[in-house]
Amino acid sequence: MARQERAIRTRRLILEAAGAVFDEHGYTATTISMVLERADVTKGALYFHFSSKESLAQAVLDEQLSLGAVPPQPCKLQEIVDVTFVFGQRLLSNSLLKGSVRLAVDQCAPPGVDHSGPFRQWADHLVVVLEQARAQGELLPTVEPRQTVELLVGAFAGIQLMSRALTDRDDLAERISVLWGHILPSIAVPGLLTAIDRGPDRGLRVLATIDEADAERAELDLSRR
């Protein structure tokens, strides 16, 4: 393995371990030694990538947006719906994402860690997609995209939190479906309401297409070698 590739893998390993520890213990109770033990890397390797617990937390927070990526859709509202279902589905198994979400909703961010970052980044990302939806005539004229996406980001944060508190996120997909059932009639043109797929299994189905595409790409890479 090339040196650079190995460094990228180690960094990833540390981030995933940090996510798991932050998720289980919260920011305050987490120590660098706990992350070292979980990642099974040397102290030197960790400090090569991250200078402190703060910078580790910041890196975990910064990963959040990339973990919610979905394939583009002709209907941009469907794409936004997909983001919420895929994010919810990944939240069941991805420790890095779990840790990132816990840090974002944690009130006790120390100076130097911007825990409000994910809220702003998600809103900034989704407002672009919602503007595309508007350009394509998908939205009711009353929609103000910035207001709507900030509502979605805030509501999603609370819904996953309530689902975690009550059922350890077992019913999260169901709750996301209910959210869209209540919000879509206020933002989508009537003709789209039945066309948009907001079934609770939407996240699983979108993830399956992502995995398929990844597998095809890998096969193509191999045949080219």
Nearer to a second copy, 25 or 134 (CB): 25
- Tell the smallest beta-carbon distance from residue 115 to a second copy (Å): 6
C-alpha span between 209 and 152 (Å, rounded): 25
Nearest Cα to Cα of residue 184 among 150, 152, 206, 156? 152
Binders of a second copy among residues 107 to 166 (CB under 8 A) are 107-108, 115-116, 119-120, 147-148, 150-151, 153-166
Question: For the chain, what's the residue count?
Answer: 225
C-alpha span between 72 and 67 (Å, rounded): 15
Nearer to a second copy, 107 or 194 (CB): 107
53 binds a second copy (CB under 8 A): no
178 binds a second copy (CB under 8 A): yes
Residues 72/125, Cβ–Cβ less than 8 Å: no
Binders of a second copy among residues 57 to 116 (CB under 8 A) are 102, 104-108, 115-116
Give, as one character, the DSSP assignment of residue 188: B
Nearer to a second copy, 174 or 201 (CB): 174
54 binds a second copy (CB under 8 A): no
Residue found under tokens 């939205």: 139
Under 8 Å CB-to-CB from 33, ≥6 apart: which residues? none
Residues in contact with a second copy by the rule CB under 8 A: 23, 25-26, 28-29, 102, 104-108, 115-116, 119-120, 147-148, 150-151, 153-166, 175, 178-179, 181-183, 185-187
